[in-house]
Amino acid sequence: MVIFRTLLLWLQAMQTQAVFQERISAFPAEATAILADIARQEGMLTAEQASQLKSIFNLSTADLMVKLLPVAAAISVAPISEFYVGVIAEGISGDLYFGANIEFLHQPLKVTLHAEQCAILNAWHKGEAKLVRLVVNEAPCGHCRQFINELNSADSIEIIIQHASEGVVRQYSLDDLLPKSFGPADLGLTDALMSPEQFDLTLPEEFAGDDLVKTAFEAAVNCHAPVCKSPAGVALKLKSGKIVAGRYASNAAFNPGATALEAAMVNWRLALLETQQDDIVEAVMVEQPTKVSQYALAESQLKDYGVELRYIAV
């Protein structure tokens, strides 16, 4: 059964990569040469590349992002809903970050990663300091509006929605989409997602030479868990030798958060844009399990890939 599920997931990755390449090749050759770097750069375009594309198409940044939404939607893995959502986030740096919904067969729907989460986690893991704009090819659900409400730019972020059924594109503030919201301030929190923050953790000396453990540890140190204060990080070693990691992104409303493994799965999906087959061969979670623990859920998810989770409590 594990072999079947792993094969199925690999076939899905191949299919989505083929669609991704097809969407890119639909653009003029001059633009395709730049867009091909989205895969190599694991789901992003630099500010300079975005500027070049704006010149090619004679578009504003917002209009360029709308034009590229089909490329973002091609990243989606949606074997359950077969509903493909794409999101592009613009950072204060000018860089553009791509995201899409990622669903997991045989797992509770709770672990589904929404497209907005995917793009935000992509930007956060790449060191972006703040987001100024999100462009979406469908209206964000309440879950995602709450997740956006956790950002350090929640009060200023511009959200542009391509209402496909109406054939129009509209701009909103988060207050338009989530009036009378509940957020971090209601719990007396000043830390916000994407703001600099670190947990004071100590890695046992026995793991000093273990790169996979050290990567998971760094993810835990830099995660966002202001409510439960139970930091967690996950590192996945791929067949190619590449290591991808994920940090816990908690939420004041709890449920819209992303676990450390879910965040790592985003980065694995983005890594697969360049390489069709790069299976997970090893996984490590580093966690300080104070009020909550992500271990059991992560262990269950990884079993679908035939991978045993190594767990280190600090």
The residues annotated with a catalytic role in the active site are 116
User: Smallest Cα–Cα separation from 264: which of 239, 281, 243, 294?
Assistant: 243
Residue 89 to residue 145: CA distance in whole angstroms: 14
Structure tokens at 278: 């790069």
Other beta carbons within 10 Å of 199: 18
Residue 54's contacts (CB-CB under 8 Å, 6 or more residues apart) are 60, 61, 64
Interior CA angle at 201 toward 198 and 205, to 5°? 140
* Distances 245 to 73, 210, 219 between C-alpha atoms, Å: 23, 14, 7
